[in-house]
Every structure is written in structure tokens, then in C-alpha cells.
Structure 1
Amino acid sequence: MSTPTFSHIGLCVTDIDRSVNFYVQGLGFELGQGYEIGAPFHIVMDLPDTLHLKSQFVQKDGVQLELLQYFAPETLGPAERRPMNQLGLTHLSVRVEAIEPVIERVVAHGGQVHRETYVDAGPGGEFVYCTDPDGIRVELMRLNG
């Protein structure tokens, strides 16, 4: 019997170059493999056979994100942060040594910082949420110790 192993997390984005810039330049991910995808992958994705998308992997600390820009069919849904209590993926989390320098890079590379979410937990550290260019929530956390 084979034991499953973790592979990656897929994120649908509206502009793959902008998202690569955010994750690589803004959050320090490394660029991985990229692909152009169409049929027969429409079958596993449960999409029409007109499927055309670009896939770009980025990685950090053993975790891979697959950024997916759909050309056909077009991307659906709002590009805004979702409520934390909505079913599904709620956020990605990145540990940082200092919050402010990363906030500056996030903003410089197309992200938005939600300062109203900032929490100074004293001996626990600091926490704040930002969003990537498509509204995907990313937690920045500086832990003490």
C-alpha cells in the first residue's frame, strides 16, 4: 500500500506574471517549473475541452504553490479577500523576522496590507494579514523565540 505525500497548493490568479512577482519578489519564494496546459487535463479539472491555462510553480521552505492563469475558460469569482469563516482555503501563512520590511515588499509588489488586522501579541509575536494581487489572504507572523 502506498502512502500519499503532499505535492502542492493551487491558486487561481488573474495575471500570472504579476502573481509571480508578488510571491517571488515580495515574499521570497523561488521560481519553479512552468507549463502551458490544455486537453486532456480538462478531464481531471472538470472543465470544457477548450481548456487553456498557464501554470507556474513557486516554492519556499518545502511548500509549492501552483499559480494558475486561465485563458479558456475565463477565471470566475471576485478578486477580494474571503471571510475567514468561509469553507475552503482561508489563508497562507509566512513567518518573518520583522513585519515592516515585508509589508513594504508586499505593497511594492502588488499586494495590499490590512493594517486593521495587526495584532501585537506581546511575548507571542506580531501578526498581520495582507492579500496578494487577487485577494488571497496571506498572514505575516513574527514569532518570538
Structure 2
Amino acid sequence: MQKSIFKNLLTISALLLGGLVHAQSNFTSKTIGVGVVVADMERSLNFYVKGIGMVKTGNFTINAEFGKRGGLTGGEAVEVNILKLENSPEATDWKLMSFGKKSAHPAQKFIQDDTGPQYITIQVKSLKPIIERLKEQKVTFLGSTPTPLTKDTHFVLVQDPDGTFVELIGPMESIK
């Protein structure tokens, strides 16, 4: 009887583990591409590329016909600029697009002021060069930043031109 119970437990465990592995294996990428609609493409590219330090890795156009047929737009074409933290296949796509319209969302002072995606977190090797670039762009730093998290790690919070919060976490000096 104990052999039978043990055999049944093994069978159930294998089925459960097989289900978990199957559920996790349905994805062809480890990252999620994020599409962000911005009011002013040039201003947003300047913030993310020249301020944060992302790299532009490409762009493409969603034509009007595909936009409508695919349910993405109401028949409006849009150019999409792809940014990444580094130019590698493993890096997340931060896809900026603009329809030239201001957001209908309220201006946010804190992350609880609206629903939906509110912030991104970027882990960096050194905060110092990013802080310098953002200061040159006259970006407002929120709270008492940089805020120490640990002995070596600090937290900086800013908002992009459309109000999305950007958390930057890393040491104040470069990692050797």
C-alpha cells in the first residue's frame, strides 16, 4: 500500500511540475517590450537618450491600414522609436510613439495619482553621470534624492516629459 501511495504521489508531482514547466515555456523571450505614447517625440528622445543614457536601436512605422486592422490605432499611422538600456537582444524594448497629443491623464505628483503603469526602475553602474546629464537638461529631482538605500546604493527619482516616474538605483560612483 505504501508503494502505491508513493507511486501516486510521484505521478501527481510529475504532472504538477510538468504543468508548471509547460506554462513557463510558452514565451519566446525573457523580456516584455513596452510601448509608451508620448506627447513630444523629440523631447522624450532627448530625455531618455541624452539624459538617462538609453540607446536608440531602431525604428519602424505602423501604417494606417495595419494600425486599424490590428486594432492598435483608429487608422492613424505612427512611427515607433526603439530604445534599450544596451544594444543587445536580451535588453527590453522601450518603444516610444507619438500622436502629437497631450495626455488626458492628470498631472501626477506621486505614483498613486493615476492608474496603469506609473514608473520604471533602472539599475545603473553609477548614478553620477546620469545625475549630471539630467541636471544639464534641467530635469526636476523628486523627493530628497539621491536617497541612500544601503551603504553603497542610492535611489534617484525623476519624471520623464510626460510624467512617467523613472527610478534610478545604483552607486554614486562607478563600480570598478
> What TM-score results when the alignment is normalised by the length of structure 1?
0.77
CA RMSD of aligned residues (A): 2.8
- Select the residue among 97, 101, 104 that pairs with 1:77: 104
Structure having greater relative contact order (Cα 8 Å, sep ≥ 6): 1
Give the alignment partner of residue 65 of structure 2, picking from 28, 39, 42.
39
Query: Paired residue for 1:14?
Result: 39
Matches of 1:79 and 1:35 in 2, distance apart? Answer: 30
Residue type of the alignment partner of 1:48 = G
- Looking at CA atoms only, which structure, 1 or 2, has the larger radius of gyration? 2
* Correspondence list, 1:77-116, <5 A: 77-78=104-105, 80-81=107-108, 83-85=110-112, 86-109=114-137, 111-116=139-144
- Return the structure number with greater helix share: 2
Work out the percentage of aligned pairs sharing the same amino acid.
21
**Kept after mapping to 2: 8 A contact 1:79/1:135:** no
Q: Equivalent residue of 2:142, what SS?
A: strand
Contact 2:157 2:167 in 1 (8 A): yes
Give the TM-score, by structure 2 length: 0.66
Task: Tell me which residue corresponds to 1:63.
Answer: 92
The residue number in structure 2 matching 1:3 is 26
Instruction: For residue 113 of structure 1, report the CA deviation from its aligned partner.
Output: 1.7
Q: Decide which moves more: 27-36 or 79-88.
A: 79-88
For these two proteins, the number of residue pairs brought into alignment is: 142
Secondary structure class of the residue paired with 2:93: strand
> Which has the higher mean CA deviation after the structures are superposed, 134-143 or 81-90?
81-90
**Where does the alignment leave 5 or more consecutive residues of structure 2 unmatched?**
1-21
CA gap of 1:136–1:8, structure 2 versus 1, over 3 A, is same
Q: State the Cα distance separating 1:23 from its structure 2 match.
A: 1.1
Q: Deviations over 1:13-34 (max 9, x none)?
A: 1111221121111122111222
1:16-56 CA-partner distances (Å, limit 9, x unpaired): 1221121111122111222233222134345322x132210
Shift of 1:107: 3.3
Separation of aligned partners in 2, 1:17 and 1:77? 20
**Which has the larger share of strand?**
1
Structure 1 segments of 4+ aligned residues over 4 angstroms from their partners: none
Q: Any gaps of 5 or more consecutive residues in structure 1?
A: none
Flag the 1:107–1:42 CA change in 2: closer, same or farther, 3 A: farther
